[in-house]
Amino acid sequence: MDYSVVKGTHDIIQSEAEGYSNIENILIFNAKIAGFNEFRTPIIENSSLFVRSVGEGSDIVRKEMYTFKDKGDRDITLRPEMTAGVVRAMVNSKLFAQQDYPVKAYYIGPNFRYERPQAGRYRQFQQFGVESVGADSAIRDAEVILLGYNSLKMLGFSKIVLKINTLGDFESRIKYKTALVDYLSNHIDIMCDDCKERLKLNPLRILDCKVENDQKIVKDAPKLHDFLSNSSKSRFDELLEILKAQNVEFVIDESLVRGLDYYTGVVFEYSFTSINGVDVGALGGGGHYGNLVKELGGPELEGIGFAFGLERVASVLKDENLFKNEISIDAFIIPLDKKYFEKALTLASFLRVNGYSCEMNVESANINASFKKALRRNAKFAIIIGENEIKNDSVQVKNLSTKGQEEVLLSNLVEFFDRSLEDDHDHCCEENEEIEK
Ligand code: AMP
């Protein structure tokens, strides 16, 4: 019997999960204050959704989807990405007929791709992302790109590089594809097997092939930017000007095409490589989509979105010592005798309903063992219940960092914690103010 995790998956537990929650809270907070509302869509979708949107010729659909027949003979896929499901939900719920544009969504959850597991690449991974659909302008593009950029800054990354490119409109791309296929046909015999297949299905994807020999061939290929229509060019320039004015550091990367067929117009990736860390690939990426809403049965509306890979964000934060995963509690209750165990429970419950986190030792009345447990739980205060305290309706409260101790009446205990832990709260707000500047 094999009880290890499935290859390419991993457990995220305890303090590591705390670190992930902290990341998610910041990302969700930023999305909410920018007017994005949460979407929770199913993990399973009809396979046709992804074949249609992500594209039959994409690597994801060709090789990476977890697809199966359910007991009703439906063709089902575990979602490999979330944009398609979110846009499907917008269309199915008729949001475009009922709400102002853009309709703005954020989402978070697991995705599944049968990829070769390696640094930063899993078969089940979490994404956080946003979509802004229905109002098509360079300003709205910039709003989404900035949200991702500022969120990464808020997580503590000092130097994020935004790689950006445009795939142009439909007509520009058709012209370019023809020229690219013409050029590559003369070299394809010596290119990798994947590229041979891509040439037939998805020739643009050859541009970001990582095989060294193929990259040399691609270097001399026709450039997409030479085939852009005037409107595509000016839309891209307008966006770049806005990003410059917003102090976003970006580099134009003409080989950036992204792997999902629904992208048209601007595509981008957020990258960060720590000095001594492994390059885990892009922290996130996204782009503009011109036809996806219509393809999924909705009106002719365009959208833009991005998704971060949370494992990659966490991994780079760890490398940079920015992963905040300490679990602490406000108080640890120490009854000095078995007969006070129930009092300990009453007190724990009282503190918890007042919003203070606490634990108690009701497994033994050994004071030394209890203090050790309090330290292991990272408690800020120990609350001791002994005979005198019961008599006086009070407790002894010991600050575990300053070691100062005082008797506090039970009737004053909440006020005591409000006062003592207020600093922690102010401190955390100051930190946020600092980052936002
Ligand atoms: P995509 O949905 O392909 O546009 O990817 C968006 C982001 O999701 C990437 O930049 C990665 O951070 C993350 N991602 C994609 N595939 C994986 C994977 N197999 N494992 C971990 N993260 C991934």
Query: In tens digits, what is the pLDDT along the chain, a chain of 437 residues?
Result: 889 999 999 999 999 999 999 999 999 999 999 999 999 999 999 999 999 999 988 889 999 999 999 999 999 999 999 999 999 999 999 999 999 999 999 999 999 999 999 988 999 999 999 999 999 999 999 999 999 999 999 999 988 899 999 999 888 888 999 999 999 999 999 999 989 988 988 888 898 888 999 999 999 999 999 999 999 999 999 999 999 999 999 999 988 988 888 899 999 999 987 766 667 789 999 999 999 999 999 999 999 999 999 999 999 999 899 999 999 999 999 999 999 999 999 999 999 999 999 999 999 999 999 999 999 999 999 999 999 999 999 999 999 999 999 999 999 999 999 999 986 644 443 443 443 33
For residues 235 and 221, what is the distance between their CA atoms, to the nearest angstrom?
Answer: 24
Query: What is the structure's pLDDT at 435?
Result: 34
For residues 111 and 38, what is the distance between their CA atoms, to the nearest angstrom?
Answer: 17
Please name the residue ranges forming H helices in 303-385. Answer: 310-319, 341-353, 367-376
- Both tokens of 6, joined, read 């499935």
Provide the CB-side half-sphere exposure for 239 (13 A, CA). Answer: 29
Q: Is residue 162 within 8 Å of residue 249, measured between CB atoms?
A: yes
Ligand 1 midpoint to CA 30 (Å): 20
Ligand 1 midpoint to CA 351 (Å): 42
Distances (CA, A) of 393 to 285, 362, 386, 409, 419: 58, 20, 10, 6, 20
CA angle 210, 215, 218 (to 5 degrees): 130
Query: What is the structure's pLDDT at 424?
Result: 64
pTM above 0.75, yes or no: yes
Nearest atom in ligand 1 to the alpha carbon of residue 270 is 10
Query: What is the structure's pLDDT at 208?
Result: 82
Query: What is the structure's pLDDT at 204?
Result: 87
For residues 413 and 356, what is the distance between their CA atoms, to the nearest angstrom?
Answer: 11
Q: Which of 12, 59, 121 to mutate to test the pocket of ligand 1 (most atoms within 8 A of CB)?
A: 121
Q: From atom 20 of ligand 1, which residue's Cα is the shortest distance away?
A: 121
Query: What is the structure's pLDDT at 436?
Result: 36
For residues 380 and 331, what is the distance between their CA atoms, to the nearest angstrom?
Answer: 6
Query: What is the structure's pLDDT at 432?
Result: 39
Enumerate residues lining ligand 1, CB below 6 A: 81, 113, 115, 120-122, 125, 127, 259, 282-285, 307-309, 311-312
Ligand 1 midpoint to CA 112 (Å): 10
Q: Sort strands 358-360 and 379-385 into parallel, antiparallel or unpaired.
A: unpaired
Q: How far is CA 93 from the centre of its chain?
A: 25
Nearest atom in ligand 1 to the alpha carbon of residue 282 is 10
Q: Which of 197, 229, 234 is nearest to 214 (CA)?
A: 197
Nearest atom in ligand 1 to the alpha carbon of residue 286 is 4
Q: From atom 12 of ligand 1, which residue's Cα is the shortest distance away?
A: 309
Ligand 1 midpoint to CA 350 (Å): 44
Ligand 1 midpoint to CA 154 (Å): 20
Which residue's structure tokens are 């506090």? Answer: 408
